[in-house]
Chains A and B, each alone.
Chain A
Amino acid sequence: MLTANHIHELYRYRDLILRLAWSDFKLRYKNSALGFFWSLLDPLLMLVVLYVVFTNLMRIQVEHYQLFLLLGIILWNFLDRGTSLSIYGIVGKPSLVQKVYFPRDILVISTCIMALMMTALEFVVFIIFMAVFRVLPGMTVAYFPIIFACQFLIILGLSLALAALNVYFRDVQFIWKVIVQIGFFATPIIYPITIFPENVREMVMINPMAQIITMMRDCILYRIGPDSLSLVYLAVSSVLVLFIGYLIFDRLEPKFAEAI
């Protein structure tokens, strides 16, 4: 469990966590000539397609829709990438599970950190876009780290549960793919939350990812700070997701080396 003791142990292994994340990160881009531009191309292409479709065909009226869309895609990609890479975090490294010992959540944590690094690159592109479209963030951008940290905790919690379950049930990876696919459309990424009537809106906002994306847009693009209730809801739900993730992980962890 996530006790003070365990956190201390993770701190002792910080070198390992970072080294694993960094080497995975480098490997991802090493074998392609254009390096990490390929990974930036992916959200940008998606942006172009969605932008063309939704501004011309659906006629969505949103201020700074390009940035609105790009931010949503980047944040959703972070969740998608973090969890789908972490699913293989344990089963994809059998020798690290069967031949040496370190706290196994390190494998998942380092994968999530690698996803974080990739997202950081995408944010660089986002900042360039902001400059191009002359959008300056206000003071409310100070909320960014808090919201972003909550998102990281949620991704880590989900990843821990998924990575552990995938050791025993190998189809979790396929099931999760479908869930992420549905989630993309159930979360206000390509549309603003305001397209829903009031009562549906509340249901959609139960999803912490909907909270995150809406709050992020407000504080980065529109200079609106999040209301404290939503912020508390987000903080509580992200800690809860992490807690449940650890609960599942710890329950399944002892037999990893046998079941892998």
Chain B
Amino acid sequence: MAVEVEHIWKTFQIPHEKRTTFFENLMGMMRPNNYETFSVLKDISFQVEAGECVGIIGDNGSGKSTLLKIIANILRASKGTVRVKGKMTPFLELGVGFNPDMTARENIGVYGTIMGLSRREIDERIDDVIDFAGLYKFEDTKLKNLSSGMQVRLAFSTAIQTDPDVLLVDEVLAVGDMEFQQKCFDVFNRYRKEGVTILLVSHDLGAVRRFCDRTLLLGGGEQRAFGETGEVLDKYVYCRSESKDSSDDSTKESGSPKRWGNQKVTITDVEFLDKFGIKGLRVNSMDPLTVRIHYYALEDVSDITFGIAIHTEDGRHIFGTNTKIKKTPLRVSVGGGYIDLNIDHIPMLSGKYLLSPAAQSLDYITTYDWIDKQFSFEVIPTSGDAGMIAISCNWIK
């Protein structure tokens, strides 16, 4: 076992009144200071085999980063033990200890030492680092005079010189442009091939799917699941949105309501159903999705068509259809009901999409109800493909 985490609990005590000076403490001796106790991690246990890559996912505030910091020995657990075998290097932030007043070369020395390189290793590799970062013209320039992109490159190329047994990564991949991220992936692949154990905290589910053998899902500080990445991600994507959907009606976008129509037929709700038939707000790219439009009719109407439009977040209209276009004649009778639109697969790669449902007369002149862009769903990337839409394709040699 490379990493063993046993029954970790972490509670923070948040005082109602923060006393940061000796004087305040002295003054406050008379009045008791009440504490709010807040559990960030509740009984987390898992084991990571040597050479394995494990992802840690969960919503913001679910305790991912805290867990990683406890494994890194930066924070101490309130209860429980962590055992790490071998040399551990945390990549919680790039360029820790960088000093703007030192030259690039000096900073490599300091940062490399912090990351656990010996003086000899630094002397040997410093030229490689400068080369890799593409900064050999600027090696004696003060760090503050380098662009932020150069600084990140410098930090990254120094950091990857370390040869750890266990690597802890927290969202490092989230910074930088596409090219930089690709470089990161290449390096992590190299580490994996060398048999380095990696723990990766990420919001980028696509990256987790590609890299991690197993994944730990945290929710509200609890261990929701730990197992094979595909299963855990499905659980996260689908179960999470279910719970969120039932707890609050967040399908409706806040902001100025945009709705019009004569209300002869009203659209009462829109639901998104995933491949398991469960309500949710998220869907994996290329998975099926059913849009269920609930309506209520004041009278029998046969001159009617239901339709939807899908927009990107920045308002680009990417798709629209209705029952008339699809040649599905229908009539509604007094009372409530619903109509489903089955989408075989969602071709978008990732992102958030806005949906506008509408009910109109067949000649589009009378609008019964139109709710403009008030519903949304999220598409979770499943592959490394870049761009907006998935195009089915194969390479042939």
A residues near B, CB below 8 A?
15-16, 19-20, 23, 26-27, 30-31, 93, 95-102, 165, 168-172, 175, 254-255, 257-258
- The residue that A27 contacts in the complex, of B72, B97, B102, B114, with Cβ under 8 A, is B102
B21 at the interface (CB under 8 A from A): yes
Taking CB atoms, residues of chain A closer than 8 Å to B109 are 19, 23
The answer for the CA separation of A86 and B99 in the assembled complex, in Å, is 18
- The residue that B96 contacts in the complex, of A27, A95, A171, A257, with Cβ under 8 A, is A95
The answer for the CA separation of A171 and B118 in the assembled complex, in Å, is 38
A257-B110 contact given A99-B93, A169-B21, A169-B25, CB 8 Å threshold: no
Say yes or no: A170 contacts B99, CB within 8 Å.
no
B319 at the interface (CB under 8 A from A): no
Say yes or no: B22 contacts A175, CB within 8 Å.
yes
The answer for the CA separation of A132 and B370 in the assembled complex, in Å, is 96
Taking CB atoms, residues of chain B closer than 8 Å to A102 are 114
B residues near A, CB below 8 A?
12, 20-23, 25, 69, 72-76, 90, 92-93, 96-97, 99, 101-102, 106, 109-110, 113-115, 118-119
Say yes or no: A95 contacts B106, CB within 8 Å.
no
Say yes or no: A20 contacts B110, CB within 8 Å.
yes
Taking CB atoms, residues of chain A closer than 8 Å to B113 are 15-16, 19-20
Taking CB atoms, residues of chain A closer than 8 Å to B118 are 15
A27-B75 contact given A15-B118, A169-B20, A169-B22, CB 8 Å threshold: no
Closest A residue, CB atoms, query B77: A254
Say yes or no: A257 contacts B75, CB within 8 Å.
yes
A101-B99 contact given A19-B110, A96-B114, A175-B22, CB 8 Å threshold: no
Taking CB atoms, residues of chain B closer than 8 Å to A171 are 21-23
The answer for the CA separation of A6 and B20 in the assembled complex, in Å, is 30
The answer for the CA separation of A93 and B93 in the assembled complex, in Å, is 14
A255-B114 contact given A96-B96, A99-B90, A99-B92, CB 8 Å threshold: no
Say yes or no: B22 contacts A95, CB within 8 Å.
no
Closest A residue, CB atoms, query B106: A23
A100-B102 contact given A16-B114, A169-B20, A255-B76, CB 8 Å threshold: no
The answer for the CA separation of A255 and B335 in the assembled complex, in Å, is 62
The answer for the CA separation of A172 and B22 in the assembled complex, in Å, is 7
- The residue that A23 contacts in the complex, of B69, B75, B99, B119, with Cβ under 8 A, is B99
The answer for the CA separation of A257 and B12 in the assembled complex, in Å, is 12
Q: How many A-B residue pairs have CB under 8 A?
A: 71
Taking CB atoms, residues of chain A closer than 8 Å to B74 are 97-101, 257
A31-B101 contact given A16-B113, A19-B113, CB 8 Å threshold: yes
The answer for the CA separation of A258 and B114 in the assembled complex, in Å, is 20
Say yes or no: B102 contacts A23, CB within 8 Å.
yes
- The residue that A95 contacts in the complex, of B23, B97, B115, with Cβ under 8 A, is B97
Taking CB atoms, residues of chain B closer than 8 Å to A99 are 74, 90, 92-93, 96
CB distance from B46 to the nearest CB of A (A): 20
CB distance from A64 to the nearest CB of B (A): 41
Say yes or no: A100 contacts B99, CB within 8 Å.
no
Taking CB atoms, residues of chain A closer than 8 Å to B97 are 93, 95-96, 100
Say yes or no: B21 contacts A15, CB within 8 Å.
no
The answer for the CA separation of A165 and B21 in the assembled complex, in Å, is 10
CB distance from A52 to the nearest CB of B (A): 37
The answer for the CA separation of A16 and B118 in the assembled complex, in Å, is 9
Closest A residue, CB atoms, query B73: A101
The answer for the CA separation of A98 and B109 in the assembled complex, in Å, is 20
Closest B residue, CB atoms, query A171: B21
The answer for the CA separation of A93 and B96 in the assembled complex, in Å, is 10
- CB-defined A-B contacts under 8 Å, sample of 25: A15-B113, A15-B119, A16-B113, A19-B110, A19-B119, A20-B110, A23-B102, A23-B109, A26-B106, A27-B102, A96-B114, A98-B74, A99-B90, A99-B93, A99-B96, A100-B92, A100-B115, A101-B74, A165-B22, A168-B20, A169-B21, A169-B22, A172-B22, A257-B69, A258-B75
Taking CB atoms, residues of chain B closer than 8 Å to A257 are 69, 74-75
Taking CB atoms, residues of chain A closer than 8 Å to B23 are 171
A30-B69 contact given A15-B118, A19-B113, CB 8 Å threshold: no
Closest B residue, CB atoms, query A255: B76
Say yes or no: A100 contacts B114, CB within 8 Å.
yes
Taking CB atoms, residues of chain A closer than 8 Å to B76 are 254-255
Closest B residue, CB atoms, query A19: B113
The answer for the CA separation of A172 and B23 in the assembled complex, in Å, is 9
What are the 7 tightest A-B residue pairs by CB atom distance, in nearest-first order? A169-B22, A171-B21, A254-B76, A101-B73, A99-B93, A19-B113, A99-B92
The answer for the CA separation of A95 and B98 in the assembled complex, in Å, is 10
A27-B119 contact given A98-B74, A169-B22, CB 8 Å threshold: no
